[in-house]
Amino acid sequence: MITVVVRVWLPDRPGALGQVASRIGAVRGDVLGIEILDRGADRVIDELTVSLPSSDLVPLLTNEVDAVDGVSVEDVRPVELNRADLNLSALAAGAAMAEADPSARLHVLCSAVQDLVAADWVIVLRDQHIITQVGESPQLSRLTAFQLGSEHLSAVDEALPDDLVCEHLVSKGLTVAAGRVDRVIHERERVRVSLLARLADALL
């Protein structure tokens, strides 16, 4: 048994998601969760958490979903079973921050952001200096330049780079940034990080 997340682009029309679910069922897949990441220009980007009997079925699953008219698979990746409900995961992350020792809360925040957006790295900066990080971050110069230039931007502003999410913890003078390679970070993910950062700002 394996659990995967399937990120798909669908036409914004009635029945499109049902057709995708039917194709998943045809390869003995079980849809455990559905999240709408983005919507606009007559397209919807969904993430479906799917249980499969075997990893050997992943290529067949991808082909079946791609065969639906107007649908394309952006990404398929294995995840832990508890990844099925990201809203509960976000609540659990908030609870973990509240319960943690104050000195550990930034690290809990970084780990939570990494899990929630499947980030390759997460970093917290203050005055262009690293406070804490998880994973291998890109060059510090890129992050500090973006930090200085992004304070006027909303976390869901379209001007943000596709591969980066950045939030300012205003009252603490901190910036949390996260990124991943080869996969766009979508609006719903940015909103989730924004809310978690607001909670961290209040708790720190």
* pTM of structure: 0.71
Strands (E), the chain: 2-11, 30-40, 43-52, 72-78, 121-126, 129-135, 164-169, 174-179
Confidence of residue 185 (pLDDT cuts 50, 70, 90): confident
Mean pLDDT of 165-174: 88
The length of the chain in residues reads 204
Full set of structural domains in the chain with CATH: 2-83 (3.30.70.260), 85-203 (3.30.450.40)
Read off the pLDDT of residues 1-24 as tens digits, 9 standing for 90 and up. 899 999 999 998 889 999 999 999
What is the CB neighbour count within 10 angstroms for residue 109?
A: 31
Confidence of residue 155 (pLDDT cuts 50, 70, 90): very low
Mean pLDDT of 35-52: 88
Backbone angles phi, psi at 141, to 5 degrees: -60, -40
Q: What is the mean pLDDT of the chain?
A: 85
Mean pLDDT of 180-196: 86
